Every structure is written in structure tokens, then in C-alpha cells.
Amino acid sequence: MTTEQTPRARTETDVVLEARAVTKHFPVRRTGRDLIARRHRTVHAVDDVSLELRRGTVTALVGESGSGKSTVARLLAQLYPLTAGEIHLGGTAVKAGRGRSFRTYVKQVQLIFQDPFASLNPVHTVRYHLTRALRIHGRAGRGEAELEKNLAALLERVQLTPPHQYLDKFPHELSGGQRQRVAIARALGADPQVLLADEPVSMLDVSIRLGVLNLLRDLKERLRLAILYITHDIASARYFADTTLVMYAGRIVEGGDSETVTQRPAHPYTQLLIASAPDPDRVADEAAQEETGSGEPPSLIDPPAGCRFHPRCPKAMERCRTELPPRFDLADGQWAACWLYEGTAEGATADGTATAADVSADGTASAPTDTAGGAASRSATAKGAAK
Ligand SMILES: Nc1ncnc2c1ncn2[C@@H]1O[C@H](COP(=O)(O)OP(=O)(O)O)[C@@H](O)[C@H]1O
Ligand SMILES: [Mg+2]
């Protein structure tokens, strides 16, 4: 097994997996009333989500429970057909299907679940799980000795050493953190390019979360994996992810490098998330919490018109109720889908496409530290996504 990577050319920016305007609507089982009204209701779980996962980079997808994060992971793993949009792997559009192309896809894009207890079969040992993964992906090697070597290498890769202490254990004989490491080792058995980690540490004791995140970071660096890290904990995104995307009610509302998004959140929803996340470095701003901390995520069966966050947003304006905000680019690669950042008149057009007078191109636009006022004076350009 070629577990030691030869240093490759610097290709950090290589996009491995890309979602383009991906949408997933689930049909809702019809009630008697729906039948009478001839209604077909749908859950708008994911709408118009675009993201890029790059080699050697962790991208965090942050949002409250029910915002569509797991659905994004499952769509990227090809577990569901898309309602609309496209997924590209290595620059090539992926076609839905269950045949050989699906197996090739799964070899490259592996999903890790929140609950390792549920994802490992309780009646089988670590050896069984890992051997099976290696065999399925044609990486078991020739003969017993080679298989043993490859199994040991997988366990070492996830820092379960010495390997012989773990190989013949059953899942219930391991701690939660060890089980999650086995689940990660099994994913690595495919020698993937992408790991989709859906809340990989949220079921683990707080004391061992950091160890598992550090392991994932080590894999990112050594194996140059592209990792999607799904979490409801924006503080962990700051610690662990290079890029952070914030999801609200099925849509991505803000993105940028993690430091910028967490230190200078632009979207009022991101500001709410930060204000309500425990952070020992920051004295909680009680007033800000009271102002924004109220309200519930909306129903995705009948999501609010305009910006989906407007019913909870302390800065909502009239147009937010009716017009979906496009992506506005701020400084340093940060962007937010929020009307507060609508550019100067030349910078943006009503349909949300950038004009020739791209006012942020000179790099003078600065991301705000306070979005309460003066938004119009900031230069920002609108790009894409308006519908
Ligand atoms: N298979 C499904 N059928 C119907 N609705 C679903 C299905 N999966 C998820 N949903 C709905 O989609 C929304 C997003 O769910 P999910 O992606 O699990 O969010 P998150 O992972 O952010 O908690 C929720 O309203 C959920 O009830
Ligand atoms: Mg989830």
C-alpha cells in the first residue's frame, strides 16, 4: 500500500469535488387534506448550493440542526439523486447511476458518519471491517502477509497503535473515539481523495474531540485529502477548517476563509451563531444575544420568501421579505448573501450580476466589523446566484 505520500507539486488550490447549484427537495407524504387540495408538498432541504472542496483543504459547513447539512453530504456522496444541479469530480460531471461508475466514485469520495457505533457492525471485528474495505476497493494485497501489513498500516494511519491490540476487537470493546478512528480507517481503505465527515465528533466526549479533529487534520496534510467537515459548532470550524461556509434553512448564506468568517462575520445569521457559541476568549455580548437569539428555524416545507432568515433577522429590510439576496463579494474572498452588502449603484445590477464596473476588483472593499450601519458605503459586488 502506498501510504507514504511523495511530496507532490503544490496543488492546494486543486478543486477535487464541486457542487454546482445543487438542489434537493423531498416529497412530503400527502395527507387527506393535501389530496383534497390536490397539493404536492415538498421539503426544500437544499436549494442552489454551490461549493468546492480542494485538495489538502478542510471546508467546514456550519449550521443549525435541520439546515440541510447532512443532505448536502449525502448528495455529494451520491446517495440521493439531485433535484437539480450538478456534481463534478476531478472536473468531470458525475452521472447518477449504481453501476461501475458509482463504485469508482465511492472509491474516491468517502462518507464518515456522526455515530461510529451505528456505522460499524457490532457482530464483526475491526479486522473484518477493514479487510472488507480493502477487498472491495482492490487494495487488500496478495496473500496473508500483505493483507496483515496493509491492515496494520491503516490502523497506524489513524493512530491506533500497536495495531495488533485493535485488530481483533469488536466495536463495543472500543471507546467512542477509537470507534470513530476505525470508521476513518475503513474510509481510508478506499484510498479516497475526499472525506465527507458529517459531524464526526459531535457524539464523542468533549475531551477526545480534539484528538479526532487533529487526526483528520493530519490526514489532510499527509494524504492531501479534501475534507468536508460538517458541524453545528462554528467555534470548531474556526479551529479546524481552512474555509467556512454557513448554511441556513437549505441555503449557504456566507463563505470565506475560516478566520475571516468567524472573526468578522458578515451575515446576520453568522453573527447570531457566533454570539451564541461558547467562546472562552470572548465576554458574551448579552445585548446582542437578546437581540438576535430569538426565533426558530423556519419550516422547509414552506420556506419564507425572499431571504429565508428575514423573520429572525434584526436587520431585516423591506426587500428582504420578497427578494432573495444574491452573493455579494466582500474583501479577502469573503462573501455573504445579504442585502446589507448590496454594492454601490455601479457595482451591482438588479438581477445580481456584476457589471463592468466591478468596484471590488481593486481590493479596497473591506469586510465590516459591524453591519448595523453604513453598509451602503461599503463596496461590494453582486455575483451570480440571484433567482
Ligand atoms: N429522506 C428525507 N425525506 C424527507 N425529508 C428529509 C429527508 N432527509 C432530510 N429531510 C429534511 O430535510 C431537512 C434537512 O435535513 P438534514 O440535511 O438532515 O439537516 P442537518 O444535517 O443540517 O440537521 C430537514 O427538514 C429534514 O427533516
Ligand atoms: Mg445532520
Q: Residue 298 has what pLDDT? A: 82
Ligand 1 site, residue 76, Cβ cutoff 6 A: no
Higher pLDDT, 26 or 37: 26
The secondary structure of 214-274, three-state, reads: HHHHHHHHHHCCEEEEEECCHHHHHHHCCEEEEEECCEEEEEEEHHHHHHCCCCHHHHHHH
346-367 pLDDT, tens digit each: 344 444 433 333 333 333 333 3
- Which of 43, 248, 273, 308 to probe ligand 1 with, by most ligand atoms within 8 A of CB? 43
Ligand 1 site, residue 65, Cβ cutoff 6 A: yes
Nearest-CA neighbor of 252 among 85, 79, 37? 85
Interatomic CA distance for residues 326 and 341, integer angstroms: 10
DSSP secondary structure code for residue 13 in this structure: T
Which atom from ligand 1 is nearest to the alpha carbon of 199?
A: 21
Interatomic CA distance for residues 223 and 149, integer angstroms: 19
| pLDDT at residue 8 greater than cutoff 80 | no
Interatomic CA distance for residues 52 and 211, integer angstroms: 26
Question: In the structure, what pLDDT confidence band is assigned to residue 40 with cuts at 50, 70 and 90?
Answer: confident
CB atoms within 10 A of CB 302: 11
Q: Residue 222 has what pLDDT? A: 96
User: At which residue does the C-alpha cell 451602503 appear?
Assistant: 376
| pLDDT at residue 6 greater than cutoff 60 | no
- Kindly give, in sequence order, each residue whose CB lies less than 8 Å from that of residue 96, ignoring residues fewer than 6 positions away: 78, 81, 82
Give the ligand at the shortest distance from the Cα of 302.
1
Higher pLDDT, 357 or 32: 32
| pLDDT at residue 320 greater than cutoff 60 | yes
H-run or E-run covering 291: helix 286-292
Question: In the structure, what pLDDT confidence band is assigned to residue 292 with cuts at 50, 70 and 90?
Answer: very low
**CA-proximal residue: ligand 1, atom 20 (nearest):** 66
206-239 pLDDT, tens digit each: 889 999 999 999 999 999 999 999 999 999 999 9
177-205 pLDDT, tens digit each: 999 999 999 999 999 999 999 999 999 99
Report the separation in Å between the CA atom of 109 and the middle of ligand 2, taken as the mean of its atom positions. Answer: 18
Question: In the structure, what pLDDT confidence band is assigned to residue 13 with cuts at 50, 70 and 90?
Answer: low
pTM for the structure as a whole? 0.83
Question: In the structure, what pLDDT confidence band is assigned to residue 46 with cuts at 50, 70 and 90?
Answer: very high
| pLDDT at residue 69 greater than cutoff 50 | yes
What are the sequence ranges of the domains in the chain?
A: 15-29+38-245, 325-387
- Which of 24, 25, 26, 233 to probe ligand 1 with, by most ligand atoms within 8 A of CB? 26
**CATH code for the domain defined by 15-29+38-245:** 3.40.50.300
Higher pLDDT, 381 or 210: 210
161-177 pLDDT, tens digit each: 999 999 999 999 999 99
| pLDDT at residue 290 greater than cutoff 50 | no
DSSP secondary structure code for residue 330 in this structure: -
239-259 pLDDT, tens digit each: 999 999 999 999 999 999 999
Report the separation in Å between the CA atom of 269 and the middle of ligand 1, taken as the mean of its atom positions. Answer: 20
Q: Residue 210 has what pLDDT? A: 94
**CA-proximal residue: ligand 1, atom 2 (nearest):** 26
Helix count (H) and strand count (E) of the chain?
Answer: 12, 13
Higher pLDDT, 145 or 39: 145
Ligand 1 site, residue 73, Cβ cutoff 6 A: no
| pLDDT at residue 285 greater than cutoff 70 | no
Ligand 1 site, residue 193, Cβ cutoff 6 A: no
Give the ligand at the shortest distance from the Cα of 203.
2
Report the separation in Å between the CA atom of 303 and the middle of ligand 1, taken as the mean of its atom positions. Answer: 14
- Give SS3 for 277: coil
Average pLDDT of every residue of the chain: 84
With a pLDDT cut of 90, the percent of the chain lying above it is 68
